[in-house]
Structure 1
Amino acid sequence: MFLLSQILKRIIKQGTLTVFDADGREHFYKGTEDGPTVTLRLHSKKTALKLALYPKLYLGEAYMDGDITLDGGDIYDLLDLFTRNLGWGSRHPLATFGDTLYRIYWFFRQFNPRGRAQRNVAHHYDLGDDFYALFLDENRQYSCAYFKTPEDSLEQAQLQKMAHIAAKLALKPGLKVLDIGCGWGGMARFLAENADVEATGVTLSKNQHGYAREKAQQMGLASKVDYRLVDYRDVTDKFDRIVSVGMFEHVGVPHYGEFFRKVKSILTDDGVALLHTIGTADRPSPTNAWIDKYIFPGGYIPPLSQVMPEIEKAGLYVTDVEILRVHYADTLRAWRQRFLARLDEVTALYDERFCRMWDFYLCASEVSFRNSGLVVFQIQLSKRLLDLPLTRGYITEIEENELNPARIAAE
């Protein structure tokens, strides 16, 4: 407990943390600024040592395994306390050795050939349709929503997200649109139904592919939407518009150039592409070890400084960049509220350890978007400078008229 105590004394500058060690002794850490008040109990001596040596991995594991519990609060409060104190752009003070070993391991994790890409996708997205239906919106948008007001429901915010993206694509009836990493197909169906385009979605998830095709059939959109179980690198058709939402995080830095060269090669000369991806305001650093092991193997969140050079090398114009701040934190909060409201059903599908794992994931992700520099990038791309309006007014006009989310929801 000594080593962990020394670390906590250095970290806690906001809020108050009380820790009861495995022998029942109380340790008190109070910052000089206001913040959350949390009580943590450690249920074994080895837990204290592991947390001191490499908390980026062992904090999540300890929570999953029941080796730590919270009194008078929950895991969100603890993670909020830690991330507020660490902020972004910081490094854990005594995790140098663990970080060094992990960086060596991470160097090889960045390579994402087709076989590994499919296994990584299956790890997370093939958990089962019943599970994701418990907490996602009715269109199964598993990415950042777009909240115009704090009162927006999750369903409304997700419709607003799809309309916002569709407006940036400047669609016209009859255009061919590709959705790279289409998930359960909601974006492609939205575009086909509301913008009168021919949409193609590609995914590596068998579960998502099967659901998307069945849903399109039920909605009478099978003739306008084509879903393919294929790697985007194997697509050869030409498209007028390309969109990718929440997929780029799985590409891997060594493959960024390949991704943008592919986009350019299958985009028509007057085409437009829109990339929606999680990004960071921090300097490049490996994915959190716990997230990589349990949630998104091979996933990575880049700063703009790693993305923009590869776009330039591919010969594409960046015609617009928008940074969505806190929108994903609010999305994750809504997901967690729904997840906890149906916790008994999740437990019946899996077990309590799985529930704690997902609770930790949702909480850790939310506080990262609130306190640790995570944002969402929307990057608009084209091959030519003059194929889009020169001011942003067209985006608002399309959202308010042609693709008004309130009208779409009412229909």
Structure 2
Amino acid sequence: MSSMMRVAVVGSGVTGMMSAYVLAKEGIEVVLYEKDDRLGGHANTVTVNGTQLDIGFQVFNRITYPNMMELFESLGVDMEPSDMSFSVSLADGKGCEWGTRNGFSSLFAQKKNIFSLQFWKMIREINKFNEDGKNYTEELDKNQDLDRNETLGHFVRSRGYSDLFEKAFLIPTCASIWSCPAEIMSLSAYSVLSFLNNHHALQVFNRPQWLIPKHRSQGYVSKVKKELEQKGCQIRTNSEVYSVLTNDEGCTITCKNGSEEVYDACIIAAHAPDALKMLGNQVTLDESRILGAFSYAYSDIYVHHDTNLMPKNRAAWSAWNFLGTKDDKVYITYWLNAVQNIKEKGLPFLSTLNPPYEPEHTLLKWSTSHPVPSVAASKASAELNVIQGKRRICLLEEGGTIFTFEGSRKTNTLKVSLRIHTPQFYWKIAKESDLGFADAYINGDYTFVDEKKGLVNLFMSNELFSLFLDDTMAYSCAVFKTPDEDLKSAQLRKINMLIDKARVSQEHHVLEIGCGWGSLAIEVVKRTGCKYTGITLSEQQLQYAELKVKEAGLQDQIEFLLVDYRQLPKGCKYDRIISCEMLEAVGHEYMEEYFQCCESALADNGLFVLQFISIADEKYDEFRLSQGFIKEYIFPGGCLPSLNRVTSAMATASRLRKIMALGFDDKFIRTWEYYFDYCAAGFELRVLGDIQVYICP
């Protein structure tokens, strides 16, 4: 984009502000319109009796919201832990009542539930629902042709969940998020389960640590505003946009105050009904059909001190509280003291959505709305590309991403899944926290489960890479003798170093994991006359490499396979394995599995030579949990390993049968596995470098 390009952003909720921020950073002239007298949208901080409260407060965590974390850290926004405990109180406290804030004392706030088979069944069903939800969304994500029109009600009832699970867990959980209890069971199962999975809301305990801005949401809004002003962004508050009209010349923004201005493009960061009003008579049939499919739940929010709108049993009190009356009215009360770390000096600060009556000691009232993940909205979301970016207009949802439900399509977030083998796992965690977690692993109470395929993408055209690579087409670090040496000579030196370290001879069968465009294959066979097999996931690389091998007349000795390292031919052993800068694309979660596959494929007395770009050990955890340009745009899912991470993964994947032959049992091995992982973060080793590892049994 030209630096002279002018873009209007309509709406200053979190999405509008971030859009303006990103554009302004790129040198684009931005004008930000906001109908209210403040920026922030739902990020609304008020002062009550000298105490700052977020009434449209937001919470976030490092796993689900990596982009927000990166932004906050770059702006210097101070953060602190938040309490995201949850409770349910039905029939004015005379029905089922339970919570999560204080472990078992909250879970069994009603002591009779300890002996209730129905209640214990509900707890088991929560765990089952967690697993069913993950499997369901994973299957739909894998196959875009599958039907996504199933409702949540059909999903639950077709799988035999109990009425108590539905009334005392599922509806309260969903209603606390979307504020539309009457519609919950008719919502899109896929949209709801995707959101709940990504936000870890399908589990009662052991959720990720949630955070809030230490100085409330207006603290970060002020920082973003300052950054925008410093980058030349014009901020126009009290400027409600009446219409957004486009033609070949540009995009005309007209405000209710009569002002009118023309821009090159416009971003509308507002609710769908508001966007449709702005588009007016120019709205297309597709825009009307797709945007018209989104519905919203409208809520009145009261900030007050009325404890009658909390669970009857104080032991059940939690940060989020779903309450139902005898006549089936429902409402949600947030205990702001718990959520926002406010010390109680008197009556608690409470915020209730749609209470059955006006609370006593009401401090203020506010109205808001949220998108509802209906089946129609889910269908419309899948069609947004039809209207997105057309007519110089980009349509975003206030407070979310492009009409996805605040995280339901986030990618590259770090997740760990456990398969629980015995209920003892939960008891150990409840009693002993991290030591219980270690003990549970050592005793095999749980195992780690892959959630992703972990396959690597390097599918861009060969022509693109040829623009910046030399004739060898080697896309990895070269070894230069002098600063002015040509790249091809340096790459051939690197290739020959790998061959030398592998000690390849004519009788050997060499496997290269991540063969690229075949430069090492041709060189090693020419030098030694060995047999060679290379694997890749890129069809473009495969076609190029096979052509080069044919040109060299080496096709009888060289074979390329379009497979993942986990799909190597069963029973085939290789005398030498070479892998050059493929490890970075494996990812943190799959490191042990990678080395296990290598160990299985390596012949007795074989050698394994590995080259990888590394990061300093002391920076590894911070790096792998962060988002950055390379991880976001170049190698999604990749992770630069540290030397210590690699050696610990090698240790885990090394000759297990030799250890077992010494008489050590599985518990002993798991103890040492846990010990290695526990100690890895404390080792102080080297800085960023490019490492070749020579491995032999």
Please report the TM-score for the alignment, with normalisation by the length of structure 2: 0.33
Residue 105 in 1 paired to residue 444 in 2?
A: no
> Which residue, out of 155, 166, 183, partners 2:499?
166
- In the TM superposition, residue 303 of structure 1 has moved relative to its aligned partner by 1.2
Contact 2:479 2:493 in 1 (8 A): yes
The answer for the alignment partner of 2:537 in structure 1 is 204
2:606 match: secondary structure: strand
Counterpart for residue 254 of structure 1: 589
Q: In the aligned structure 2, how far is the partner of 1:199 from the partner of 1:287? A: 38
- Structure 1 regions of 5+ residues with no counterpart? 1-39, 69-90, 318-371, 384-411
Q: Which residue of 1 aligns with 2:654?
A: 315
Post-superposition shift, 1:42?
A: 11
1:129-168 to 2 correspondence within 5 Å? 129-168=462-501
Higher-RCO chain (CA-CA 8 Å, sequence separation at least 6): 1
Paired letter, 1:159: L
- The CA deviation at 1:375 is 1.9
Out of 270, 283, 287, the residue aligned to residue 620 of structure 2 is: 283
Query: Corresponding residue for 1:300?
Result: 639
Question: Cα distance, 1:67 vs. partner?
Answer: 3.6
1:193 deviates by: 1.2
- Distance in 2 separating the partners of 1:304 and 1:137: 29
Note the C-alpha offset of 1:223.
0.8
Q: Who is 1:81 aligned against?
A: none
Asked whether the 8 Å contact 1:277–1:376 carries over to 2, the reply is: yes
Matched, 1:94 2:429: no
- Could you tell me whether the CA contact under 8 Å between 1:233 and 1:262 is conserved in 2? yes
Q: SS of 1:105's equivalent?
A: coil
Asked if 1:380 is matched to 2:694, the reply is: yes
Aligned to 1:186: 519
1:155-196: CA deviation from partner (whole Å, max 9, x where unpaired): 110001001111110111121000001111111111111122
The Cα shift of 1:286 comes to: 2.8
Larger radius of gyration: 2
Q: How many residues align?
A: 253
Change (3 A) 1:129 1:308: same
Taking the TM superposition and a 5 Å limit, the aligned residue runs for 1:356-395 are 374-383=688-697
CA positional deviation for 1:378:
1.2
Alpha-carbon spacing, 1:195–1:291, altered in 2? closer, same or farther (3 Å) = same
Change (3 A) 1:220 1:276: same
Tell me the distance in 2 between the aligned counterparts of 1:230 and 1:276. 20
Provide the C-alpha distance between the structure 2 equivalents of 1:107 and 1:210, rounded to a whole number of angstroms: 35
Deviation at 1:105, TM superposition (A): 2.4
Whether contact under 8 Å (1:280, 1:375) holds in the other structure is: yes
User: Would you say the 8 A contact 1:316–1:382 is kept in 2?
Assistant: no
Matched residues in 2 for 1:179 and 1:104: separation? 27
Contact 1:126 1:207 survives alignment (8 Å)? yes
Deviations 1:205-243 (A, max 9, x none): 111111111110111110111001011111131000000
1:283-333 deviation digits (Å, cap 9, x = unpaired): 32335333222211101012122111111122269xxxxxxxxxxxxxxxx
SS in 2 for 1:256: helix
Structure 1 residues 180, 104: closer, same or farther in 2, change over 3 A?
A: closer
In structure 2, distance between residues paired with 1:313 and 1:212: 34
- Pick from 241, 245, 264: which aligns with 2:580? 245
The residue that corresponds to 2:551 in the other structure is: 218
| 1-structure distance, mates of 2:23, 2:476 | 22
Query: C-alpha deviations, 1:230-284, integer Å up to 9, x for none?
Result: 1111113100000011111111222111111111111111100011111101232
Q: Is the 8 A contact 1:287 1:300 kept in 2?
A: no
1:60 to 1:130, Cα distance in 2 relative to 1, 3 A: farther
Measured at CA, do residues 139 and 95 of structure 1 come closer, stay the same or move farther in structure 2, by a change above 3 Å? farther
Residues 253/60 of structure 1: CA separation in 2 closer, same or farther (3 Å cut): farther
Percentage of matched positions with identical amino acids: 30
Task: Return closer, same or farther for 1:255/1:215 CA change in 2, 3 Å cut-off.
Answer: same
Change in CA separation of 1:61 and 1:200 when aligned onto 2, cut-off 3 Å: farther
Which residue number in structure 2 is paired with residue 82 of structure 1? none
- What is the deviation of 1:142? 0.5
CA distance in 2, matches of 1:302, 1:189: 28
Residue 127, structure 1, aligned to residue 464, structure 2: no
Structure 2: gaps (5+ residues) = 30-72, 80-209, 212-406, 418-448, 657-685
TM-score, with structure 1 as normaliser: 0.54
